[in-house]
Structure 1
Amino acid sequence: MKVDQIKLNAENYYNSTKFETIKYGIGINVNLNKLNIDKLKFNNSKNKIDIIANKSVKIIDFSKLKTEINYINKLIKEDENKIISLHFSRFNSGKLIIIPKDTIITEPIIINSDSQDETDLYNIIIIAEESSKANIIEISKSNNKTKLKSNIIQIFANKNSNIKYNYINLNDKKTNCFNIKRSEIKKDANIDFLDVNLGSNFNQNSNKTYLKESGANTNNYAIYFTNEKQNYDIDIENIHDGSNTNSNIISKAILDDESKIIYRSNINVNKNCKRCNGHQKENTLLISKDSKIDAVPMLEINNEDVNISHGVTISDIEEEKLYYLKSRGLDEEQSKEIIIRGFINELIDKIEDKNILQLVEKEINKKLKK
């Protein structure tokens, strides 16, 4: 389908629907009308997407492609919901990244997204051809003028390919973010996701992965550290469309002050898919009595020949641990920092690039020292 037709379809859907109110648990709700999206300007002249990559990687700007862009709405439709229709009707830029067949990229592909305008909406399509391998890191930043940031990432992992995708959210706390990922994994291919969410005012993070063929594998690792009045809406779903497929979801959330998180995760195994493995684990540490999380793990199992599990824990900082650390000569702030770092280090250690690790550590330190 041509881009102009997609944009027209999206515009028609956007104009005919209303924003939903997301509500879970006691006192946790998000009214998207309050974001005042219709009052924003969509000029986008100062926004930048810079990609640093090995010369073997093919990078094509959407402006260089013809009016029809393959894959642009293959995994996500322009009329899926009002936010997505807004994105497709007004997106201003996009990149197509191709990792060629039998190519192993040893140095990371860095995507720097630096938003300067009031709004920033962009698309990234990644095609990992057969037996290719790459580590991709997206660093998302904005200034205090950016009110809305929306990005749609689609990844196509072909046979025997291996992709690591890190998303680092360092956006300004006046920015409302919509980060949407959709992926398709073919035979014996793998995608590992690592999301580190520290920034934004409101952050809606959606990650849906389709495991299409035997041997397809995905791991979803995620860290959420919120404070002040940050509000996150998280939705992770792995859909097993093929037999002998594997998926894991492991999340760690830390909430301070009056911040709130709605967290949903789902493993969906379709009827004819046998010998599938799917596991999910979500652990939350509440630092403040005023912070709230509603965690909703789900399983949709339509076949008995599977190995599926899920688990959720929500806890406060234990007084016994604090007492022990303080008895060793540490003050309360130092003791809390040790407990928090011990809680998230399992996933922080999965950041392989030293420069990115330093960047994340710097932002975590800001939250710990506030």
Structure 2
Amino acid sequence: MTNQELAEMKNDYKYGFHVDQEYVFKSKKGLSEDVIREMSRMKKEPSWMLDFRLKALQEFWKKPMPTWGANLGSIDFQDIYYYLKPTEGQVKDWNQLPEGIKSTFDRLGIPEAERNFLAGAGAQFDSETVYHKIREDLEQIGVIFTDMDTAVKEHPDIVKKYFGTVIPYNDNKFAALNSATWSGGSFVYVPAGVKVELPLQAYFRINAQNMGQFERTLIIVEPGSFVHYVEGCFTKGAPVITTEGIKPIEEVKEGDTVLTHTLQHKRVYHTQVRPYSGKLYNVEYFGDTSQKIEVTEEHPFLIVSRQKDEYKNTDWKPEWLEAGKLKKGDYVAIPIDRTTGIEDERKFVIKIGNGRHGFKDSELTLNTDADFFRLVGYYLAEGSIVSGHYLHFTFNEKERPYIDDVKELLERYFGKPADERKPYKNGISIVLSSTKAVMFFESQFGKGASGKKIPSWVVHESPEKQKELIKGFWRGDGSFMMQQYSWGIKRMFRMNTISKQLALDLRNILFRLDIFASINMQKRGGKRHTMYCVYVGGSYLKMFAETIQAFPSNEVAVGRQIAFQMLKQINAKSYAHITENYAFVPIKNISSKNVENIPVYNFSVEGDESYVANGVVVHNCTAPVYATDSLHAAVVEVIAKENARVRYTTIQNWSNNVYNLVTKRAFAYRNATVEWIDGNLGSKITMKYPAVYLLEEGAKADILSIAFAGKGQHQDAGAKAVHLAPNTTSTIISKSISKGGGRTTYRGLLNVAENAVNSKSHVKCDALILDDQSASDTVPYMEINNKNVNIGHEATTGKVSEDQVFYLMSRGLSEQQAMTMIVSGFIEPFVKELPLEYAIELNRLIQMEMEGSVG
């Protein structure tokens, strides 16, 4: 490589730096039996591991260099250092690392990532793991997460039982090389029935020139266990919005349907509870004093960052940000559910008493028009049920128009006239004797002031009808406040209730009407119920006045119309902002405290991985695996036993002088699920084909991969699924991008054995070529030995259209920005399947790769 080429490569690659490091031990260059023996001696390995290494070395010499893929002819195996020991031993405190090594990982952002996301982390520098730490709560439930060298010494029985069983030393030339020279890597063991909800991460760094890194990873997940890369949790009691109403987070279960940040209802597919020790954040926001959020520091919120302290924002584009990074004044997002289902006539089944035979179902058909919704509002504010047969409404004797309105509505919809009782202490009661009416209102809207609620069909009806509901409620339990303060006059419309659920429902309906409403919780002494006041002020006063068709005549002394004119002239401001999807409110206060071993809760949601807790949108977060800046030949073995689930995610960004030759394979037993999520950027040549062997009935494999090849790079990647049992399922999705003369190859294997009846597999590979110098190949191989299967395969290859680029540039984008946007759109179906942090990291790396792609 010329000096100019080396300089260009360093400029293109952000992590192309190295540090001067004094190694404790450095083997002589080249591969030989002496080097292997010396390495094993330095590691103080048992004799069986040395024997394994020497057998693998002989196998490596025997096997020819593969010629079926990328050109590997320039690799000189005798010009490589196979073992460099950078430190005397391993540490558990990041600050105990030598300064050069610590600064290397600091520049890669790893300590920050560990603080924000990780429960266990390991860092490998050249040949050795220099740092390893696991949280105590994982150790207490029997989970083992350590480096591979330590596992050989401390867990020899487990290692000896499984090591090399998924990928034997004679599997292929580079598996043999790894088996002979392996050093470092990770060992994970999850006992039966244990669910690990935490990210277990490893970082690999090649620092020395002409260095070979050959880490070995072995993951064993016993029956019924679960390994899932998620982190971030709430404390007990956090209210979550579900289709069944609001539930405390600890009561959310698999199969529940929750509201997500996309304003859709999605299914919960996994729940978790775990002990937590660390910093716990308390977040309070304006607009709802009943909500105080307690959350671990890494849990992401959907927020809009405050632009200027003294001004309301003009930009309302939301982003995800962890709780530990939130600032006072940032805006959190309250979702607005605008789903609408309009029906002017509805049928209801209600329970009617049937003497000694209990209850019987009775059908009730009602005209649910706008006037009916006003009657509902009256009931929610002033209605009550007496003796299970009588519906009561109570008004002040001066509210004659409302009294007459309720009487007329009751007779119209329920076919019976209501009785008006004599005034008592300035109050008048209206009574309807109708068991059907009573059972209808009780079943749909609750009974008792604290038990009132609004059902889903009302929440999702038309705005015109909902305005009438608000009008009816305000007439019953509404007021207008105008009060002089030192800073000016405070004006607000108020609606009061002792039902927290009803307060939230009223507020959410007002959001649908584009009226921002706040909730103020007032705890009262003695046995009195807590009061919830739903109030509207600021710039939304006029809209609310128009909705209820009532104006604050007490504001001026000359009548209702003049009062309304004055209300229209008030130039009041609101701290909140409403968009189509969200109401944004500023954070009032953030505090934190250290806690030990408290239970925290979280759950996973299909597709969106988000939900609404404590009234605001939050995300289910995970953390990425980074791999940065030469021969890299790793082996990863995964064993998922019966009913186990393993998800292995990696984003690799090697420098352009690295040969990245990796063998990754998993065994999936009965009803087990293995997911490989694989992102490949950088390297000179990558050859990597994550595989899943579906060994027993019901096993499932999901493999998602993306490859980006730039100048001088060949990404030869793909996947393998081998169906060896009935009723097994595999899905392979691959996306690749090539630019600047780069080349991508999809190389896949799908094998269905003769006995694998009723198996299903779908393979989809798409390639995008950004210029005339780049290329892409698709090399699928399918061997189907059974006719009773369902197999699908799709493949597309395309170039960027000049029309697309021109269109985007005509909208003000530069050519490079246009190209980057097209690439982002191409990989979007892949990225949206990634957890949040993987998606962020992958998009960031893609943007880095696209820099300078034009001209």
**TM-score of the superposed pair, with normalisation by structure 2:** 0.41
- Provide the residue aligned with 1:58 in structure 2: 144
1:237 is the counterpart of 2:720: yes
| Structure 2 SS opposite 1:31 | coil
- Provide the residue aligned with 1:27 in structure 2: none
Q: Report the AA paired with residue 226 of structure 2.
A: K
1:301 is the counterpart of 2:784: yes
| Structure 2 SS opposite 1:244 | coil
- The partner residue of 2:81 within 32, 37, 41 is 41
CA-CA distance at 1:283 after TM superposition: 0.2
Deviates more, 1:278-287 or 1:256-265: 256-265
CA-CA distance at 1:52 after TM superposition: 5.9
8 Å contact from structure 1 (residues 263, 295) kept in 2: yes
- Provide the residue aligned with 2:842 in structure 1: 360
8 Å contact from structure 1 (residues 113, 138) kept in 2: no
- Provide the residue aligned with 1:261 in structure 2: 744
Q: CA–CA distance in 1 between the matches of 2:845 and 2:767? A: 19
- Provide the residue aligned with 1:100 in structure 2: 191
1:279 is the counterpart of 2:762: yes
1:141 is the counterpart of 2:141: no
Q: Report the AA paired with residue 677 of structure 2.
A: L
8 Å contact from structure 1 (residues 237, 267) kept in 2: yes
8 Å contact from structure 1 (residues 52, 109) kept in 2: no
Q: Report the AA paired with residue 19 of structure 1.
A: M
| Structure 1 SS opposite 2:819 | helix
- Provide the residue aligned with 1:344 in structure 2: 827
- Provide the residue aligned with 2:516 in structure 1: none
- The partner residue of 2:651 within 154, 158, 168 is 168
- The partner residue of 1:19 within 65, 86, 90 is 65
CA-CA distance at 1:113 after TM superposition: 2.0
1:121 is the counterpart of 2:214: yes
Stretches of 4+ moved more than 6 A in 1? Answer: none
Q: Report the AA paired with residue 821 of structure 2.
A: I
CA-CA distance at 1:353 after TM superposition: 4.5
Q: CA–CA distance in 2 between the matches of 1:107 and 1:235? A: 28
1:82 is the counterpart of 2:168: no
| Structure 2 SS opposite 1:342 | helix
- Provide the residue aligned with 1:26 in structure 2: none
| Identical counterparts, % of pairs | 24
User: How has the CA–CA distance of structure 1 residues 238 and 52 changed in structure 2, closer, same or farther, with 3 Å as cutoff?
Assistant: farther
Q: CA–CA distance in 2 between the matches of 1:80 and 1:214? A: 25
Q: CA–CA distance in 2 between the matches of 1:277 and 1:139? A: 30
**TM-score of the superposed pair, with normalisation by structure 1:** 0.91
Deviates more, 1:223-232 or 1:97-106: 97-106
Q: CA–CA distance in 1 between the matches of 2:771 and 2:827? A: 17
User: How has the CA–CA distance of structure 1 residues 320 and 52 changed in structure 2, closer, same or farther, with 3 Å as cutoff?
Assistant: farther
Which has more radius of gyration?
Answer: 2
- Provide the residue aligned with 2:22 in structure 1: none
User: How has the CA–CA distance of structure 1 residues 329 and 353 changed in structure 2, closer, same or farther, with 3 Å as cutoff?
Assistant: closer
Q: CA–CA distance in 1 between the matches of 2:769 and 2:760? A: 30
CA-CA distance at 1:51 after TM superposition: 5.7
Q: CA–CA distance in 1 between the matches of 2:161 and 2:744? A: 35
Deviations for 1:47-69, whole angstroms, at most 9, x for unmatched residues?
A: 25456655423124334244972
User: How has the CA–CA distance of structure 1 residues 340 and 142 changed in structure 2, closer, same or farther, with 3 Å as cutoff?
Assistant: closer
**Higher RCO (CA 8 Å, separation ≥ 6 residues):** 2
8 Å contact from structure 1 (residues 114, 140) kept in 2: no
Q: CA–CA distance in 1 between the matches of 2:628 and 2:817? A: 30
Q: Give the length in aligned residue pairs.
A: 360
Flag structure 1 segments of 5+ consecutive residues without an equivalent: 24-29
Q: CA–CA distance in 2 between the matches of 1:288 and 1:228? A: 11
User: How has the CA–CA distance of structure 1 residues 197 and 313 changed in structure 2, closer, same or farther, with 3 Å as cutoff?
Assistant: same
- Provide the residue aligned with 2:702 in structure 1: 219
Alignment root-mean-square deviation, CA: 2.1
- Provide the residue aligned with 2:581 in structure 1: none
8 Å contact from structure 1 (residues 53, 108) kept in 2: no
Q: CA–CA distance in 2 between the matches of 1:53 and 1:242? A: 37
Q: CA–CA distance in 2 between the matches of 1:294 and 1:243? A: 32
8 Å contact from structure 2 (residues 718, 734) kept in 1: no
Q: CA–CA distance in 2 between the matches of 1:190 and 1:229? A: 37
Flag structure 2 segments of 5+ consecutive residues without an equivalent: 1-46, 87-124, 230-622
| Structure 2 SS opposite 1:258 | coil
CA-CA distance at 1:349 after TM superposition: 2.1
Deviations for 1:173-207, whole angstroms, at most 9, x for unmatched residues?
A: 22211221110111111111110111211111122
8 Å contact from structure 2 (residues 712, 742) kept in 1: yes
